[in-house]
C-alpha cells in the first residue's frame, strides 16, 4: 500500500520512496515518477537531484544551462537504503556477500561499505578507497603474513589485483544504488558512480560555476580561486580561506556590490548592507576533474568521491551570525562612540 511507504519532501511536494520499483512517486499523482536510474549519485549511493519545481520532476543533466533556471534547484537526497531501511533490509539480507580469495585467505566483498573483510578475522578490513583504481581493476600491496595492506618493503609483500565491485557483486551494487541489475552489468565502478555526460562536458572545457547570492563566479583551480566570467582576476582566493591542517575552506565575507571577497578594515564602525557571510565546498568538490589535473592525483578516486557538478550555490548567512557586530561595538567603544539605543549597526538596518 502506498500509505506504508516512507515519503520525502522535495521542495514542498511529497513523494513516496519506492525501493522495490526504484523510484520516487508523487503523492496524489502516481504517474509522476523520478527513476533512481536517472539521478546523479555519490560514492555513498546518495542522490544529487536537479529538481524542477515547476514540473515537479527531474531536470535533465544533459540540458542543464549555466546557471540553472530559477525554478531548478539541487537537492541532496539520502541513499535508498537510508530512505527505507525496512524495505531495503530483506533485499540486502537475502543477498549473500561474494568471496574473494587472496592466496589462501578468504575475504567477503562488502560493496555497501566498499571493503574486503577477512572471513576468519572480521576486524581485518581493506577498503577499496585505499586501493589504486586503474579503471578496470584495483591494485594494492598486500602482506601475505599479516594478511592486510602494507606499504613496507618485505619479502611477504605482493601486489594484488582486485576486480571492480560491479564485477565482484553486480547484484549488491544494483541494490546499493537502487538500480536494476542490467544497468550495472558491463560498467566499471567509475562509470556507475560518475555521471559521464557531466564529466565529458567538463573535459570539453566547461568550467563549474558558483553563485553567491545573485553573483555568478567561475571556479578556476589553476588560479586557486573564483573569478568573474570574462576576467582572469581572482575575486575569492582559496589560499586565504584554507584551514590549517585540512582542505576545508573557511567561511568568508563577500561584498555582493563589488562581487569580491571582503575583509573588514581597521576601525570598522558600521557594516555595509552589501556584505554577507558565505561558505563554499572545498576545491576538490567544486571541480574534482580540474583538481586532479592540477595536483596530479588519480581522477578515478577523486571523481568517485566527489562526482562532478557544474553549478553550485554558496551557503549565505546573515551577517548577524558572524563576529562583525561585536567588532563594530568594540571599535565604537574604543573610538568613544558608544552605541546608542536603537542605533543601527548596518546602514539602515539593525541586526
Task: Check residue 66 and give its pLDDT.
Answer: 52
d(CA 321, CA 132): 43
Extended strands (E) in 53-122: 57-58, 72-77, 99-102, 105-110, 115-118
64 to 69, 104, 214: CA distances (angstroms): 9, 50, 18
Contact yes or no for 17/36 (Cβ under 8 A): no
* Packing angle, helices 170-177 and 85-93, rounded to 10: 180
Predicted confidence at residue 143, as pLDDT, reads 94
Q: Distance between CA atoms of 163 and 102, rounded to whole angstroms?
A: 12
Total Cβ atoms within 10 A of residue 232: 8
Identify the pLDDT of residue 174. Answer: 87
Q: How far is CA 122 from CA 115, 118, 125, in A?
A: 11, 5, 7
pLDDT at position 337 is 57
CA distance 138 to 3: 44
C-alpha cell belonging to residue 259:
562581487
Residue 117, preceding bond cis, omega within 30 degrees?
no
Question: What backbone torsions phi and psi does residue 335 show, to the nearest 5 degrees?
Answer: -95, 15
Measured CA angle at 179 (ends 173, 181), to 5 deg: 65
The single-letter DSSP state of residue 212 is: E
Question: In angstroms, rounded to a whole number, what is the distance separating the alpha carbons of residues 215 and 113?
Answer: 39
Q: How many helices (H) and strands (E) does the chain have?
A: 11, 25
Q: What is the pLDDT along the chain (351 residues), one digit of tens a residue?
A: 444 789 999 999 999 998 878 889 999 898 999 988 788 777 677 888 889 999 999 987 655 545 678 888 888 898 887 888 777 665 566 678 999 999 999 999 999 889 999 999 999 999 998 899 998 999 999 999 999 999 888 888 999 999 999 999 999 898 888 788 888 999 999 998 888 888 999 999 999 999 898 899 999 999 999 999 989 999 999 988 876 555 568 889 999 999 999 988 888 888 888 889 998 989 999 999 999 999 998 888 889 888 888 888 888 888 887 888 888 888 888 876 555 444 445 544 444
Rounded Cα distance between 252 and 236, Å, is 9
State the pTM of this model. 0.68
Residue 235 burial (CB count, 10 A) = 19
- Residue 346 has a CB neighbour count (10 Å cut-off) of 18
Tell me the domain boundaries of the chain: 2-89, 95-184, 197-334
Contact 277, 250 (CB under 8 A): no
Amino acid at each position: 500500500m502506498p500509505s506504508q511507504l516512507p515519503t520525502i519532501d522535495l521542495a514542498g511536494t511529497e513523494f513516496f520512496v519506492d525501493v522495490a520499483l526504484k523510484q520516487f512517486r508523487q503523492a496524489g499523482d502516481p504517474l509522476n515518477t523520478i527513476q533512481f536510474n536517472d539521478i546523479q549519485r555519490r560514492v555513498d549511493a546518495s542522490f544529487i537531484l536537479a529538481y524542477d519545481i515547476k514540473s515537479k520532476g527531474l531536470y535533465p543533466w544533459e540540458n542543464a544551462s549555466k546557471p540553472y533556471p530559477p525554478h531548478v534547484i539541487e537537492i541532496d537526497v539520502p541513499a535508498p537504503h537510508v530512505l527505507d531501511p525496512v524495505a531495503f533490509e530483506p533485499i540486502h539480507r537475502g543477498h549473500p556477500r561474494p568471496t574473494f580469495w587472496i592466496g589462501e585467505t578468504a575475504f567477503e566483498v562488502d560493496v555497501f561499505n566498499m571493503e574486503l573483510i577477512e572471513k576468519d578475522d572480521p576486524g581485518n578490513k581493506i577498503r577499496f578507497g585505499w586501493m589504486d583504481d586503474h579503471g578496470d581493476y584495483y591494485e594494492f600491496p598486500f602482506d601475505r603474513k599479516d594478511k592486510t595492506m602494507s606499504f613496507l618493503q618485505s619479502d611477504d609483500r605482493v601486489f594484488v589485483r582486485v576486480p571492480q565491485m560491479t564485477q565482484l557483486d553486480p547484484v549488491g551494487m544494483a541494490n546499493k544504488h537502487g538500480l536494476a541489475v542490467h544497468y550495472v552489468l558491463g560498467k566499471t565502478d567509475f562509470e556507475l558512480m560518475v555521471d559521464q555526460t557531466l564529466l565529458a562536458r567538463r573535459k570539453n572545457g566547461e568550467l563549474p560555476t558558483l553563485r553567491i547570492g545573485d553573483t555568478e563566479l567561475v571556479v578556476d583551480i589553476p588560479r586557486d580561486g573564483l573569478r568573474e566570467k570574462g576576467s582572469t582576476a581572482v575575486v575569492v582566493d582559496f589560499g586565504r580561506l584554507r584551514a590549517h591542517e585540512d582542505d576545508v575552506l573557511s567561511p568568508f565575507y563577500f561584498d555582493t556590490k563589488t562581487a569580491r571577497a571582503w575583509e573588514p578594515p581597521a576601525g570598522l564602525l558600521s557594516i555595509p548592507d552589501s556584505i554577507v557571510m558565505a561558505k563554499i565546498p572545498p576545491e576538490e568538490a567544486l571541480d574534482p576533474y580540474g583538481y586532479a589535473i592540477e595536483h596530479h592525483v588519480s581522477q578515478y578516486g577523486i571523481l568517485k568521491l566527489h562526482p562532478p557538478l557544474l553549478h553550485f550555490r554558496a551557503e549565505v548567512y546573515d551577517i548577524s551570525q558572524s563576529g562583525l557586530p561585536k567588532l563594530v561595538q568594540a571599535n565604537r567603544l574604543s573610538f568613544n562612540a558608544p552605541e546608542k539605543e536603537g542605533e543601527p549597526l548596518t546602514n539602515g538596518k539593525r541586526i
